[in-house]
Amino acid sequence: MDRYEILKQSLPLILKYDFDEIIVVDSSGPSQRYKNEELCRRLGVKYYHKLGNREEARNFGVGKAKGDWVSVRDDDIKLISLDMKTLREVMGKDCDFIHATAKCVWVFRRDFFLKIGGYDTKLCIGDDYDITHRAYKYGKVCKLPHSLGETGEFKKAVKMHWKGMFSYSLTILTFFKKYPFLKFALLIPYRLFVVSKELMAKRTKDDFINFIVTVTGSLLSPLYLVNPKLFDKLLVQ
């Protein structure tokens, strides 16, 4: 969503590996939608435009996939290395879900993913925990004792940072309602602590702005319930 500059960096890194199919589901507004679509066409990647949240986009993409196995990842995750040979060997085993390093190897048998309902579209924060919890509960899991690769994260602009933190803040109460035993995890305060620690270490103008945006997004998110149209407009733009 509105991250063309990140998408054009992340896709070539994924294309280095022999995935059978790559699908991009984009929720961008008109200004970046066409740039994203042209980029995917040029790289031979399947492109779909669908307005909605991140979880809806993930579920939609899996629904369009043709393969027996799917790996879902966000565009801002930088794929540095991946052991495809070992991954394909594990896919030959009798399992529904392959679990190694979360951001690098998180692979589902497609029919199992659809059977358990995919990602919970009411969640943004805790969505990865939620689907992993259900995968372990309802399926056969291949839990790998080691990582099959390495990932990083692309640096996001302040506007991207705001949209992400705002969306996370909106669903934190829903997540704790679904998993009340995790209500003391204090995920948002922890995130604020991490960002503030980085700010004190770097002390750059951009880091300071990111910190202010994070705090503001967390504090303002309850106002979404009062005027959702205003915030929807901000997110789309």
Q: How far is CA 94 from CA 27, 69, 71, 76, 98, in A?
A: 35, 13, 17, 31, 10
Residue 118: pLDDT band by 50, 70, 90 thresholds?
A: very high
The count of structural domains within the chain is 2
Least Cα distance to 71 among 36, 113, 12, 10 occurs for: 113
Same domain, 33 and 93: yes
Q: What element of type H or E holds 31?
A: helix 30-43
For residue 178, what are the domain limits? 155-236
The pLDDT assigned to 233 comes to: 56
The burial of 184, by beta-carbon neighbours within 10 Å (0-12 exposed, 13-18 middle, 19 or more buried), is given as exposed
**Does position 200 have pLDDT exceeding 90, yes or no?**
no
Q: Which of 95, 118, 151 is the last residue of a domain?
A: 151
Same domain, 119 and 34: yes
- Taking residues 6-34, report their average pLDDT: 91
Same domain, 70 and 136: yes
Instruction: Kindly report the CATH number assigned to the domain that includes residue 74.
Output: 3.90.550.10
Residue 32: pLDDT band by 50, 70, 90 thresholds?
A: confident
Same domain, 131 and 201: no
Residue with tokens 């779909």: 48
The pLDDT assigned to 218 comes to: 54
- Taking residues 18-46, report their average pLDDT: 92
Same domain, 138 and 215: no
Q: Which phi and psi (to 5°) does residue 96 adopt?
A: -105, -20
Q: Which of 151, 172, 199 is the last residue of a domain?
A: 151
pLDDT digits (tens, 9 = 90+) for 42-101: 999 999 998 888 899 999 999 999 999 999 988 888 888 888 898 889 888 899 999 876
Same domain, 10 and 96: yes
Same domain, 145 and 174: no
pTM of the model: 0.75
**Residues ≥6 apart with Cβ < 8 Å to 30:** none
Residue with tokens 């839990």: 143
The pLDDT assigned to 229 comes to: 59
Same domain, 175 and 126: no
Portion of the chain with pLDDT greater than 70, in percent: 68
> 42-72 burial, b for 16+ CB within 10 Å, e for fewer?
ebebebeeeeebbbbbbbbbbeebeeebbbb
The pLDDT assigned to 236 comes to: 47
CA atoms within 13 A on the CB side of 77: 17
The lowest-confidence range among 1-15, 173-187, 193-207 is: 193-207
**Residues ≥6 apart with Cβ < 8 Å to 220:** 166
Residue 174: pLDDT band by 50, 70, 90 thresholds?
A: confident
Pairing of strands 97-99, 141-143: parallel
The pLDDT assigned to 237 comes to: 44
Asked whether the beta carbons of 221 and 169 are under 8 A apart, the reply is yes
Same domain, 12 and 116: yes
Q: Which of 124, 151, 178 is the last residue of a domain?
A: 151
Mutual orientation of helices 158-170 and 187-202 as an angle, nearest 10°? 160
The pLDDT assigned to 123 comes to: 85
Same domain, 83 and 197: no
- Taking residues 6-23, report their average pLDDT: 93
Same domain, 133 and 183: no
Rounded Cα distance, 31 and 33, in Å? 6
Same domain, 134 and 207: no
